[in-house]
Amino acid sequence: MLDYRLDEEYEALRKTVREFARAEVAPVIGDFYEREEFPYELVRKMGAMGLFGLPFPEEYGGMGGDYFALCLALEELARVDSSVAITLEAGVSLGSMPIYRFGTAEQKRRWLPELCRGEALGAFGLTEPGGGSDAGALRTTARLDGDDWVLRGSKAFITNSGTDITALVTVAAVTGTTADGGKEISAIIVPSGTPGFTVAGRYSKVGWNASDTHELSFVDCRVPAENLLGARGRGYAQFLQTLDEGRVAIAAIGVGLAQGCVDECLRYVAEREAFGRKIGMYQAIQFKIADMEARAHTARLAYYHAAARMLRGESFKKEAAIAKLTSSEAAMANAREATQIFGGYGFMNEFPVGRFYRDAKILEIGEGTSEVQRMLIARELGLPRSA
């Protein structure tokens, strides 16, 4: 028998994060957003709540939960603000999770406790300035020189990479040539402050303005050989798994944004009057909000399904792509409709829907564009690779 009701622990977590988002995030995040300032105090509070340690075992300072618990937290945060949500998502699924999944006992002991407490952030250096969706076209290199890896190259659009509490970036780099002449790709942990590792200035972004995003460069950057994460040459497989899991988390953020648009519209139409009536009485407005709710609900079921398959140890690549595609398009459509319902006020940054509209588009790009998701779905259906 299918049952999509949350059990008591999940429901308690969802309510706790929702209350935090409404009481702590909502009143202040607009100012952070306008100043393009990273919200350190909110991150500290999320760390104290255990949100950065949700899916990790207690032995590493985690909460002993699972990935679905993280997704629930992300959805509730994104109902209020996506900058805070993506900071948590990237900190966990891209910063900490690769170390937990592939790290040695010593690497886990060294890095995870501080990351789980939210006292430090990790980042994942995959995308490059000329690479975009072609993740296999890496140009950053790492060569062994005695007991050190020496890195050269650059990365682009890396979240959580330049904060005052960023502790490390896991860098995907070409470390040699495979037997068939292809690129041998490995993952290497580069601690912040390592000589030769430079963090460029903050990007001027359309959205996610209270999150941290930078371009990184590596010029003869030397780290110990033991900073290799997982087996040499397994970097490509590692980041594919990381991205599959991350797409479920990004889907949860998309659902949160889509639902947040519904929340804001319901409040607004109960107060705003036009032509002598509350605008919530007009069927045209009611139909828009009904469609918005239907999109959020459908996308939520998609990411619940993908997360359930993940937790059962079943293949979930197709389901993750469906969830990410569905939720990002729902977020974009709902943000557009919410802005329309708010009219001129929807175009003002002081109203959350204006921020939602600016934040929604990146969900159709980051962690694999909508086109990449369709390509993955087609491949999982057995269709031939297109030219």
User: What positions carry a catalytic annotation?
Assistant: 367
Can you name the residues that pair with 299 across neighbouring β-strands? none
For 364, the token pair is 């159709």
To which residue do tokens 């760390």 refer?
Answer: 47
- Secondary element (H or E) of residue 258: helix 235-269
Distance in angstroms (rounded) separating the CA atoms of residues 314 and 310? 6
Give the residue from 141, 372, 135, 154 showing the smallest Cα distance to 236.
Answer: 135
d(CA 111, CA 49): 19
| The two three-digit tokens of residue 140, written as one number | 């950053």
The H-or-E segment that residue 177 falls in is strand 166-177
Q: By C-alpha distance, which of 212, 6, 203, 242 is closest to 102?
A: 242
Can you tell me the distance from the alpha carbon of 382 to that of 48, in angstroms, rounded to the nearest whole number?
46
CA distance 200 to 197: 10
Helices then strands, each counted (H, E), the chain: 12, 10
DSSP class of 362: G
Q: What is the DSSP string of 289-336?
A: HHHHHHHHHHHHHHHHHHHHHHHTT---HHHHHHHHHHHHHHHHHHHH
